[in-house]
Amino acid sequence: MSIQSPAKCEIRSVIRYLVWKGKTPVEVYNEVKTAYGDKGMNRTSVFKWCREFKNGRTSVHDDQRSGRPSILTDDIVEKILLLCIWWDQQGVILSTSIDAFESSLKKKTAAIHDKVILLHDNARPYVAKPVKTYLGTLKWEVLPHPLYSPDIAPSDFHLFRSMAHGLADRRFHSYEEAQKWIDSWIASKDMSFFRRGIHVPPERWEKVVSSDGQYFK
């Protein structure tokens, strides 16, 4: 049974102790996951704190921040557009908001007969029960992927990173405006861009394994 409702500073104290004991970041992450389960800390954060303590940090508390604190209201949350993109080495198969994801996917996959190997980043919307159930009906092979590991998720380190550069300083006033820009951005990328993103992951996997699970930007 895992420890319930741990405080952030408690988990960080455990990480600090394990780093002091000479544990590697992967070993620390496994210890934290065993002790706290889903209530613990994700891989990226564990590696970050391992690095902090290894570099001499002693405090387990958050650093004080200057300036006005940010305020996240319901109105702001409603304006966030969560994009779901399915793509392969030939290009984008499906681009839609997460709300329209399931119905759009059913239409797009109806004509797919070849075996599909799916890699996603285990974000909550993608591992929700309705999505997992539907993927099960498709009989797709879903590749295992460590939680919160954007460094080995091609959509994060390749697709969205490139898209983020194009989105810098842009502001959209409607869903339609945002979708139009996304469609235009996708159309501007040739097949070599997507092929590169699909063929790079094995190299990054080997790099992570050979470095004992280190995180790479």
Neighbours of 27 (CB within 10 A): 16
Angle between helix 25-36 and 43-54 (nearest 10): 130
Res 66: pLDDT: 53
Q: What is the pLDDT of residue 136?
A: 78
pTM of the model: 0.47
Q: Please report where in the chains the tokens 């470095």 appear, as a residue.
A: 211
- Cβ pair 201, 152 in contact under 8 A: yes
3-state secondary structure of 188: coil
What pLDDT shows up at residue 72?
Answer: 47
Picking from 120, 96, 122, 119, the residue whose alpha carbon sits closest to that of residue 107 is 96
Tell me the C-alpha distance between 33 and 66, whole Å: 32
Indicate if the alpha-carbon torsion angle 113, 118, 123, 129 is positive or negative.
positive
Strand ranges in 42-189 using DSSP code E only, listed in sequence order: 83-88, 91-97, 117-118, 141-142
Nearest CA to 189 among 86, 90, 81, 83? Answer: 90
**Average pLDDT along the chain, 217 residues, taken 10 residues at a time:** 77 91 89 85 88 89 63 49 72 64 54 64 67 77 70 82 85 83 90 90 81 68
* pLDDT reported for residue 192: 92
Sequence-distant (≥ 6) Cβ neighbours of residue 105 within 8 angstroms: 86, 94, 134
Residue type, 152: I
Predicted confidence at residue 15, as pLDDT, reads 92
Q: Assign 32 to helix, strand or coil.
A: helix
Q: What is d(CA 211, CA 194) in angstroms, rounded to the nearest whole number? A: 27
Query: CA geometry: angle at 99 spanning 145 and 92, to 5°?
Result: 60
Give the pLDDT of residue 157: 84
**pLDDT value at position 188?**
92
